[in-house]
Amino acid sequence: MRTDRLFMEAAHLDGEQFVRRFGKCLRPIKLWRVEIDVRVERMCGSHRMNLGAIAHSARGYGLSGNDDIAALEALYRTYLEAGNSGDLETYCSLFAFPIAVGGNGQAPATVSNPAAWRASVQASIDDLAARGWVTSVIDALHVGLMAGDTGVITIAFSRLAADGAVMESCTGNYLARKLDGMWKIVGIIAP
């Protein structure tokens, strides 16, 4: 099929129709902030198309859309709010165990159950509070979709003292999976 005919035909399809018609030819190249760059290799050779507008309809082909981006952002915001308020019940419910936790040049450790994670988080909150911490705030939040059921949340945040002074600024990467229709954190890697 010639490229000009392909684009003429594709222009008249909505997202779901496009995926049904051309989905088997699509190969995901990059997923970041709902900007999906795909190559329609069998039909167009190396011509590239931006299919961000149809991402929502493309779930059956391993692609995700705005709702997954929003859900991952909400997952992290809920994680931060639960940690700030000390609501460890909600905090631990955001994870799918076992989880991998690592960073600082160390190999990730596996935490196999919520009780062990809860104890570790409570110890961290107690340590932070003893140093004057009262809350953490988001400085930057980015979500990347790797496949229909896997995402990465990259965060920059600051820990604040009671007077609003920044105690420290940190970054982290959170791996998430969509399990039974719900996004859950499965790993935390801090530089």
DSSP string, 122-172: HHHHHHHHHTTEEEEEEEEEEEEEEETTEEEEEEEEEEEETTS-EEEEEEE
The Cα 186–Cα 176 span in angstroms is 5
Integer angstrom CA distances of residue 15 from 26, 38, 51, 65, 79: 13, 14, 9, 11, 33
Condensed to tens digits (0 to 9), the pLDDT of residues 57-105 reads 334 444 457 889 999 999 999 999 999 999 999 999 999 999 999 988 8
What CATH class is the domain 67-190?
alpha beta
pLDDT exceeds cutoff 70 at 119: yes
**Residue 155 pLDDT > 70:** yes
Q: Give tens-digit pLDDT for 103-116.
A: 888 889 999 999 99
Q: What's the whole-model pTM score?
A: 0.66
Domain edges within the chain: 3-63, 67-190
pLDDT, residue 144, reads 93
Interatomic CA distance for residues 7 and 50, integer angstroms: 12
Residue 45: is its pLDDT beyond 70?
Answer: no
In which band, very low, low, confident or very high, does the pLDDT at 161 lie, cut at 50, 70 and 90?
very high
Q: Residue 126 pLDDT more than 50?
A: yes
Confidence of residue 18 (pLDDT cuts 50, 70, 90): low
Q: Specify the amino acid at residue 131.
A: R
